[in-house]
Amino acid sequence: MGTVQWLTTAYLLIVALMMTTSAYLKAVMSPRKIFIWGMISFVIGDIISIFAPSFWPLLFGRLIMAVGTGIALPLVFNVILMSIPPMQIGKYMGFGGLILSLAPALGPVYGGLVT
């Protein structure tokens, strides 16, 4: 349980830290570049985690994945607010929230089925 707690707490801490820097990233980069950097970070962290032989490389990979997640989460709502007409913002914000709410519920189920 301690190992899982380390992975979860560190991951959520980095996600929260990256979410707070999203306003700065938006000021210095375009949404497209932010998205690309977020996805590159997530994929690199995923690859490191896949091939991790022990706990510390796994933790390192998860932290890099958290950087990508922390960049992408606020970007979803930012893109919705920038590109959707004002009359439809509520509907699309609801879709974005639905996707972000279902991912933590369905991810472990899918991972269990694959395993």
Q: Residues 65-115: pLDDT tens digits? A: 999 999 988 888 888 998 999 999 999 999 999 988 898 888 888 888 988
pTM of the entire predicted model: 0.81
- If asked whether residues 23 and 75 sit together in one domain, one would say yes
- If asked whether residues 77 and 98 sit together in one domain, one would say no
Could you give the C-alpha distances from 48 to 4, 45, 54, 60, in angstroms and in order?
A: 17, 5, 11, 8
Q: Which domain holds residue 27?
A: 2-83
- If asked whether residues 108 and 79 sit together in one domain, one would say no
Question: What span, in angstroms and rounded, lies between the C-alpha atoms of 52 and 111?
Answer: 17
Question: What span, in angstroms and rounded, lies between the C-alpha atoms of 57 and 63?
Answer: 10
- If asked whether residues 77 and 94 sit together in one domain, one would say no
The predicted structure's pLDDT at residue 107: 82
> 86 by DSSP, 3-state: which?
helix
Tell me the pLDDT band of 7, cut-offs 50, 70 and 90. confident
- If asked whether residues 72 and 110 sit together in one domain, one would say no
Are the beta carbons of 82 and 74 closer than 8 angstroms?
no
Number of domains in the chain: 2
- If asked whether residues 70 and 94 sit together in one domain, one would say no
- If asked whether residues 22 and 52 sit together in one domain, one would say yes
Are the beta carbons of 60 and 47 closer than 8 angstroms?
no
pLDDT at 28 over 90: yes
- If asked whether residues 56 and 13 sit together in one domain, one would say yes
- If asked whether residues 90 and 78 sit together in one domain, one would say no
